[in-house]
Amino acid sequence: MADFLLELRSEEIPARMQAGARGEMEKLFRREMDAAGVSVGDLTVWSTPRRLALIARDLPTETEAVRDEAKGPPVGAPDQAVDGFCRKNGVSRETLEVREVKGRETYFAVVEKPGQAVSDLLAAAIPAIIRDFSWPKSMRWGEASLSSESLRWVRPLSGIVALLDGEVVPCIMDGLASGRETMGHRFHSDGAITIDGADDYADKLRAASVIVDHEERQNAIREGAKAAAEAAGLTLVEDEGLVVENAGLTEWPVPLLGRFDEDYLDVPPEVIQLTARVNQKYFVCEEAANDGDNRLANAFLCTANIAAADPAVVVDGNRKVLAARLSDARFFWELDQKTPLAEHAKKLERITFHEKLGTVADKVERVAKLARWLCQEGIVDGDPDLAEQAARLCKADLVTEMVGEFPELQGLMGGYYAEKEGLPQEVSDAIRDHYKPVGQGDEVPTALVTVAVSLADKLDTLVGFFISGEFPTGSKDPFALRRAVLAIIRINSLGLRFRMQKVIAEAIELHLPASEYDVESEFRAIFVEDARKFQWTNEDRVKAQEIAENLTGQMSATRANWYGGLAALPAFFADRLKVQQREAGVRHDLIDAVFALGGEDDLVRLLARVKALQAFVETENGTNLLAGYKRAANILKKEGWESSTSRHPGLDPGSRSASDDEEAGSRLRGRDDESAETLDGLGEEDPLALAGKPEFDAAFSDTQKASTKPLSYTPESAEKALIEALDAAAPKAASSVESEDFEAAMAALASLRAPIDAFFEEVTVNDPDEDKRENRLALLARFRDAVHRVADFSRIEG
């Protein structure tokens, strides 16, 4: 058994790439050894800015010899066959062995593959590892780069140490020969150092002022910074990202504490922390204030890469750089305050939000109206005046110097400036927090004025892009619309109750305001009215989609986008809801099952229903009822008794039938022709108003009729029991859903489980008597539709 050390030395590797490089090093080493048949146990991989090191313990020194046998033709077979067999196995005829197989003399080829020295295998593997190393960005360098085929690496590769049990594994890569010499610290060590093997590698480097283990360096920074802060009577503001980054920038990390001028503490602490962290990679500290809270201290912690002769000199240099940055920041802070936010906001007219959605000022106008409306409608129980005021100012900080310098401070700076102006607390809070929640973990605002502005802002963005035809596709979501919907869902589920469709329609109207002088305004008015009537049913979505497709053909791209966006929104919400709820353990198929019923756009109610459904289907009653449902649905399907809900498969907006197409087309043509004078007659002309409901009701009432018709025969007892159970359960399920008592609705379904089981056990549906057969199919349809009152069970998996 032997230990192997590989060190790849490089000019400074970017800190952010080192973790990935360690993974790459291990992956490629394992790949190469695997291919060579060398078994590899545990690996240690280390990184510094100037080297990647890998230690593999207990490698075999030789691979095992392998004996391959192949059975050939029988003795006496034509020469051609025997020669072919020899060629195939790379042996000569004389070496063939003859053995008896089932009483026949048969040729065998035996190939002995001797074991190979692992050192040789490593020598071949190292160049392959280097060549195949994948970096986020790589480059060529030096004389070899005269050819564009020269080696690419993250920065120039400067040395290879490869030792197996202390012996050099000889290889050459791009003119660089492996050996046992490496370099210590760039400044604390002079000349090359010689490595004996895997065992003395880390120690030799440590003696040359290099801590090769990145975790040890991280620890030194983490603990050293903490200790330095404590020694100064301060508390370190911990920042794991900075720990890792500084460990990636140093081979001999020395945390040093410095002080900056206390006057800079006038600048908001977030600004100080940000400039220290982003620009300089410094930690900051806190100290106990008089009121017992912690506040930012005028101290910073930098991480030097040397044990400086006089650390004070290094600290002082860093202090000056930070002072220059803070001086800039304070300049911006003071300059920005000379102009009220309302004045700053005027400059938003010059900033394009998106070419199809106008300027940021336009957006602010819409958000202000929508935020006010949300409060006036009681959707958000906030003060409409404050909500509007906050919304009008919420983007003003985008044109301030500070946010120009640090875009990540948007919102926060506006909040500070509003406070300094003496605006109401609700307003400055709303300006500060209206971007929230930004990510999964970000807190959801609860202050009512903030909620109104945040919701309005996100709805405006979402709706605007959707009705402009700018949907996220695949991995592309340039306007972060998925995040916007997720934020809307999270705000919504924090205690707001509203119909999403109503709110969306309002946002649409703000995007497409009516105007007397605009020839397009009539189309806008028609669309807005359609949007207000639009329900989150499959039928409506299909209709809207059809209209969009017809309009595309009529060169009305803008209007096609309107309808297309409207049609696509419900599914977009459903998808985000599924992703969001997955973490909470809510099954996506159950969300589909409720969503597929259509018409549900109150997300709070929808989720309550899904959760009750989940509780139910995971009981024994639920599982059996689902089995009964599927059996019934299969029989009905075979007999052509299609269900109304599964005809337009749930959330797929592309599905539709040919006859619908024609209908929608003719309606639209009619409207286009008469567009000048149809404003009055809109109610009847509206394709969406005609769409949907009737078909669903018809299908439903048909089965009702069938079941209430007196039977021409005496039903079997199980049949009768099912009829009675349905008579009791169907209205109960429906009324429970109506009153949002979903547990009761599930209980009603549960009462059907025994009767449906018994029905399938005892009753033959496919009776030779046509009347019986029809009635029993109708009964199953009634059962299916009763279940559909609660959820579309065809979408439930299992």
Partner 1 sequence: MESEVKTATHESSAGTRDPSRSFQDMILTLHDFWSANGCVILQPYDMRMGAGTFHTATTLRALGPESWNAAFVQPCRRPTDGRYGENPNRLQHYYQYQVILKPSPADIQELYLDSLKAIGVDPLKHDIRFVEDDWESPTLGAWGLGWEVWCDGMEVTQFTYFQQMGGFDCKPVAGELTYGLERLAMYIQGVDNVYDLDFNGRGVSYGEVFLENEKQMSKWNFEVADTDALFDLFAKAEAECRNALNNNVPIAAYEQAIEASHIFNLLQARGVISVQERASYMGRVRDLARSSCETYAQQMAPEWEAKFPGWSLV
> Which residues contribute to the site for partner 1 (CB under 8 A)?
11-12, 14-16, 49, 137-148, 154-156, 158, 186-188, 190, 249-250, 280, 282, 302, 304-306, 308-310, 313-314, 316-318, 320-322, 324, 350-352
Q: Is residue 578 within 8 Å of 552, Cβ to Cβ?
A: no
Smallest gap from residue 464 Cβ to partner 1 (A): 20
By beta-carbon proximity to partner 1, the closer residue of 12 and 663 is 12
In the bound state with partner 1, the residue whose beta carbon lies nearer, of 66 and 321, is 321
What long-range pairs does 372-375 form, CB within 8 A, spacing at least 24?
A: 372/452, 373/506, 374/452, 374/455, 374/456, 374/503, 375/448, 375/452
Q: How far is the CB of 458 from partner 1 (least distance, A)?
A: 25
Length of the chain: 798
Nearer of residues 18 and 556 to partner 1, judged by Cβ: 18
Measured from the CB of residue 680, what is the shortest distance to partner 1 in angstroms?
Answer: 42
Nearest distance in Å: CB 162, partner 1: 20
Q: What is the closest distance, in whole angstroms, from the C-beta atom of residue 258 to partner 1 in the complex?
A: 10
Strand order in the sheet with 254-259: 235-236, 283-288, 294-304, 254-259
How many angstroms from the chain centroid is the CA of residue 682? 42
Rounded to the nearest 10°, the torsion over CA 122, 126, 128, 133 is: 140
Residues 573-577: contacts with CB under 8 Å, at least 24 apart? 573/485, 573/489, 573/500, 573/601, 573/603, 574/651, 575/651, 576/482, 576/485, 576/486, 576/489, 577/489, 577/603, 577/606, 577/607
| DSSP string over 138-150 | -B--TGGGGSTTS
C-beta of 189 vs 751, nearer to partner 1? 189
Question: Please, what is the minimum distance in Å from the beta carbon of residue 250 to partner 1?
Answer: 8
Q: What is the 3-state secondary structure (H, E, C) of 210-242?
A: CCCCHHHHHHHHHHHHHHHHHHCCCEECCCHHH
What's at 72, amino acid-wise? G
Any idea what DSSP says for residue 712? S
Q: Which is nearer to partner 1, 300 or 466 (CB)?
A: 300
DSSP result, 519-574: TTHHHHHHHHHHHHH--SSHHHHHHHHHHHHHHHHTT-HHHHHHHHHHHHHHHHHH
Least separation in angstroms between CB 278 and partner 1: 12
Q: How far is the CB of 50 from partner 1 (least distance, A)?
A: 9
CB of 249 to partner 1, least distance (A): 6
Q: What angle do CA 13, 14, 18 make, to 5 degrees?
A: 75
Q: Which is nearer to partner 1, 154 or 612 (CB)?
A: 154
Q: Minimum distance from CB of 145 to partner 1 (Å)?
A: 4
Q: What is the 3-state secondary structure (H, E, C) of 663-678?
A: HHHHHHHHHHHCHHHC
Q: CB-wise, 191 or 654, nearer to partner 1?
A: 191
454, 487 in Cβ contact below 8 A? yes
Nearer to partner 1, 204 or 281 (CB): 281
Q: What's the DSSP call for residue 278?
A: I
Burial (Cβ within 10 Å: 0-12, 13-18, ≥19) of residue 306: middle
Nearest to 428 by CA among 438, 446, 436, 416: 416
Question: What backbone phi and psi angles, to 5 degrees, belong to 606?
Answer: -60, -45
Instruction: State the sign of the Cα–Cα–Cα–Cα dihedral 76, 80, 85, 86.
Output: positive
* Minimal distance, residue 15 CB to partner 1, in Å: 7
Closest approach of partner 1 to the CB of residue 65, in Å: 43
Integer Cα distance of 621 and 623 in angstroms: 6
**Torsion sign, CA atoms 306, 312, 313, 319:** positive
Looking at beta carbons only, is 279 or 552 nearer to partner 1? 279
DSSP H/E element including 416: helix 412-421
Shortest CB 18 distance to partner 1, Å? 11
* Rounded least distance, CB 52 to partner 1, Å: 16
Nearer to partner 1, 156 or 382 (CB): 156
**787: which strand partners?**
none
Residue whose CB is less far from partner 1, 356 or 533: 356
Q: Which is nearer to partner 1, 344 or 789 (CB)?
A: 344
Is the CB of 263 or the CB of 316 nearer to partner 1?
Answer: 316
Residue 52: beta bridge partners?
Answer: 8, 47
Q: What region does 354 belong to: left with phi over 0, alpha with psi -120 to 50, or beta?
A: beta
**Integer angstrom CA distances of residue 584 from 70, 552, 616, 791:** 57, 40, 17, 20
Return the number of the residue (17 or 75) whose C-beta is nearest partner 1.
Answer: 17
